[in-house]
Amino acid sequence: MKDFHLPWLELAILFCLVGGAWVGRLRNPHIARNWALLFSGLALIATTGAWLDFDYLDAKQADDTFHLLSHLTGRELLVMDELSAPLLPLAALLFFLVPLATLQTKVRRFSFAWNLVSEALVLALFSCLEQWGIITLLAVGTIPPYLELRERGKPTHVYIIHMALFILLLVVGWTFAEIEGGGGRVHSLWVIIPLLGAILVRSGIAPFHCWMTDLFEHASFGTALLFVMPISGAYAAVRLVMPIAPDWVLSSIGLASLFTAVYASGMALVQTEARRFFCYLFLSHSALVLVGLEVGPVNPLALTGALCVWLSVGMALGGFGLTLRALEARRGRLSLTHFHGLYEHTPELAICFILTGLASVGFPGTVGFVGTELLIDGAVEAYPYIGVAVVIAGALNGVALIKTYFILFTGTRYTSAVSLRIRSRERFAVLLLASLILIGGIYPQPGVHSRNEAAKALLKTREALAPSPTLPTPHHVEEHHAPEHGS
C-alpha cells in the first residue's frame, strides 16, 4: 500500500463534517446554501485530488499520508483502491450538484447540513475496506433520510421496516461470519442467507424494493436522489458478500437482479407520476449493475461492464434526476397523464433530459454505451438468456424515457406568469454533466481500463477463497450447477 501526497480522504470527510456542523447553525437558508456549496466543493476537490494522486502513484491501494486516523484508531480505516477511486469523486460531484441546482424557492425545504453529513458518510463508506466499518456506515447512513421524513411529518413505516431489516440482517450475517473465522473462506448458510437478504433489501431488489418508491414519494427529491444514487447496496455486495459467497449465492442475486431489471423497466412504463417513474428507471439500472457483479466470477467482462455501468448510471441518472428535480421545482409534482409543454420554456433542460436519459440506456456516443455493451457481451458469454433479458430491459427503459420526454416537454405550450428559463447555477450543473457524459462516451478507454483493473482486483479476492469443511466447495457447487451454466 502506498501513501498519498496529502491526506485527501481525511480532508474530504473532515470538510463535510465541519461543514455540516457549521451550516447546521445557520438560520438563513440562502447563506447556508452558499456555505454548503463551499464545503461540498472542497470535498469534491479533495476526492478528485485523491483520484488523480492514486492514478499518479499507480498503486493497487493507497491511504492518507500522516496516518492521523490510523494513530487514533490503531488501524487503516480509510483506503482508496481501484474500485473506489472514481466512485469517491462521483459521489462528491453528486453531493455538490444537488445543492448547487436547488432553486431559491426550494432552499427552505432542503437540509444542507444533513446533506453534508450524508456526504461524509458516503465518502467514508467508499473509502472503507473494514467490514464492521462498512456495516456501521451503512447503518448510520439510513438515519438522515429518516430524520427528514419525520421532520416533514411523512409516513416512515415502510422505510423503517426495510432499513431495520437491512441492518439486522447485515449485523446478524457478519456476526456469524466472525464466529466462523472472518473473511477469506466460504461460509455457512447462517452467514450467507442474512447477508444475501441484506443486499437484496438495500439494493431494492424485488420484492424488497417498495421502500425506495416510498422514499421517493415522501422525502424531498434531492434527499431521495442522494440516498440511492451512489448504489451503496452494490458496494456492500462487493465488499461483504463477493469475497465469501459461493457461486450459487451470486447466481441467486444475479437472477433476482435480472428479474428486477426487467420488472422495473416495465413498471417505469406504466407510472403516472415522474418521481415514481424515475425510481423504477433507477431500480432497473442499479439491478443491472448487480447482474454484472454476480456474473463477474463467470465472465470478468461482465464485471468490468457492471463497474462501468455503475459509473455511467451515477452520472447519467444523477443528471436525469437533477433535470426532473429542476422541472418539479417549476411545476410541482409532475403528473405523467397529460402533456406539460415545457420545451419552449427550458430547451436546455429538454436537451439535458434526453441526453442523460439516453446515456443511462447506453445510447451510442454517451458514457453508458461501452459499459452496457461490455455488460451484455460478458453476460451473454456466461448465460445467453441474461443478455437477452438485459437487452429487453434496455429497450423498455428507452421507450419509457422517450414517452416521459414527450409528456413533459411537448404539447401545447404551458403559459406561465413567471419565467421558467434555466438559471445559471442549473446551467452549470447541466453543462458539467453533459460534458462528462459526452467526453466519457467519445473517449471511453481510460474509464474502461480502470474498471477492468478494478474487476481483476475484485476477482482476486474470490481466488483467495478457502473451501469450508461443512459446505460444498465452490468447485462442487459449480459442478452441481453445470447444466444451468451451459444452458
Partner 1 sequence: MAWLGEAVIICPVALLCVLGIPSLLSRRLAETTINRFLQSAMVIGLAASTLMLCMMLPMKNPHVAVELGNWVSIPGYEFHIKLIFDRLSVPFVMLSYILCGTIFAFASRYMHREPGYNRFFTLNAVFLLGMVTTSLAGTIETLFAGWELVGLSSALLVAFFHERPAPVRNGLRVWCVYRVSDAALLIAALTLHHFGHSDFEKVLGIESWPGGRATVSEYEALVVGLLLLLAAAGKSALIPFSGWLPRAMEGPTPSSAVFYGALSVHLGAFLLLRVSPMLEKSLTLRIVIVCLGLLTAIYATIVGRAQTDIKSAICFASLTQVAIIVAEIGFGLRFLPLVHILGNGCLRTLQFVRAPTLLQDYRQLENAIGDRLPRLSGFWDSILPHGVRVWMYRFAIERGYLDVVIDNYIVDPFVAVFRWCDGMERRWTDYLSGGKSRESDQVTGSPGSLEEFL
> What residues between 250 and 289 interact with partner 1 by CB under 8 A?
263, 266-267, 269-273, 275-276
- Asked if 339 touches partner 1 (CB under 8 A), the answer is yes
143 near partner 1, rule: CB under 8 A: no
> Applying CB under 8 A, which of residues 358, 429, 454, 465 lies at the interface with partner 1?
358
310 interacts with partner 1 by CB under 8 A = no
Among 24, 183, 398, 467, binds partner 1 (CB under 8 A): 398
Closer CB to partner 1, 91 or 400, in the complex: 400
Choices 23-31, 84-92, 107-115, 370-378 (CB under 8 A): range interacting with partner 1: 370-378
Which residues within the stretch 448-477 sit at the binding site for partner 1 (CB under 8 A)?
448-449, 452
Residue 98: what residue type?
Answer: V
Q: Which of 52, 68, 189, 431 binds partner 1 (CB under 8 A)?
A: 431
Whichever of 250 and 379 has its CB closer to partner 1, that residue is 379
| Complex with partner 1: residue 164 or 482, whichever CB lies closer | 164
Radius of gyration of the chain (CA): 22
Contact 240, 174 (CB under 8 A): yes
| 213 lies in the binding site for partner 1 (CB under 8 A) | yes
Nearer to partner 1, 183 or 266 (CB): 266
* Shortest distance, position 79 Cβ to partner 1, whole Å: 25
**Closest distance of CB 116 from partner 1, Å:** 27
Spatial neighbors of 361 by CB under 8 A, at least 6 apart, are 368, 372, 394, 397, 398, 401
Number of residues near partner 1 (by CB under 8 A) = 75
78: left (phi over 0), alpha (psi -120 to 50) or beta: beta
Phi and psi, residue 273, nearest 5°: -145, 145
Q: Give the three-state DSSP class for 325.
A: helix
Residues 443 and 356: their CA atoms lie apart, in Å, by 17
Residues 6+ apart with CB under 8 A from 177: 131, 183, 187, 191, 195, 244
Is residue 439 near partner 1 by the rule CB under 8 A? no
Binding of partner 1 at residue 409 (CB under 8 A)? yes
- Of the residues 3, 130, 180, 348, which one makes contact with partner 1 according to CB under 8 A: 348
How do strand 79-81 and strand 2-3 relate by DSSP bridges?
unpaired
By CB under 8 A, name the one of 256, 301, 327, 329 that touches partner 1: 301
CB 288 within 8 A of CB 257: yes
311 is an interface residue for partner 1 by CB under 8 A: no
- In sequence order, the β-bridge partners of residue 2 are 62
Quick check: 221 and 275 in contact, CB under 8 A? yes
Q: Which is nearer to partner 1, 95 or 363 (CB)?
A: 363
Q: Is 321 in the site for partner 1 (CB under 8 A)?
A: no
Q: How far is the CB of 73 from partner 1 (least distance, A)?
A: 37
- Return d(Cα 137, Cα 302) in angstroms, integer: 28
Among 3, 55, 381, 478, binds partner 1 (CB under 8 A): 381
Q: Minimum Å distance from CB 428 to partner 1?
A: 12
Instruction: Report the residue from 74, 157, 417, 463 that binds partner 1 according to the rule CB under 8 A.
Output: 157
Give the list of residues 6+ apart from residue 478 with CB closer than 8 angstroms, or none: 247, 485
Locus of grid cell 483493473? 453
Shortest reach from residue 24's CB to partner 1, in Å: 27
**Does residue number 165 form part of the binding site for partner 1 (CB under 8 A)?**
no
Does 76 help bind partner 1 (rule: CB under 8 A)?
Answer: no
- CB nearer to partner 1: pick between 317 and 434: 434
CB of 304 to partner 1, least distance (A): 7
Q: Of the candidates 395, 439, 464, 482, which one interacts with partner 1 according to CB under 8 A?
A: 395
Interacting residues with partner 1 between 232 and 251 (CB under 8 A)? none
DSSP string, 186-248: ---HHHHHHHHHHHHHHTT-TTS-HHHHHHHHHS-HHHHHHHHTT-HHHHHIIIIITTT--HH
Integer Cα distance of 389 and 142 in angstroms: 32
Decide if residue 158 touches partner 1 (CB under 8 A): yes
The answer to whether 55 contacts partner 1 (rule: CB under 8 A) is no
Neighbours of 414 (CB within 10 A): 16
Residue of 56, 151, 406, 439 that binds partner 1 (CB under 8 A) = 406
What type of residue sits at position 457?
Answer: A
91, 196, 376, 433: residue in contact with partner 1 (rule CB under 8 A): 376
What is the residue type of 299?
N
Cα–Cα distance measured from residue 228 to residue 215, given in angstroms and rounded to the nearest whole number: 10
Q: Among 26, 45, 351, 432, which residue interacts with partner 1 (rule: CB under 8 A)?
A: 351
For residue 482, the one-letter residue type is A
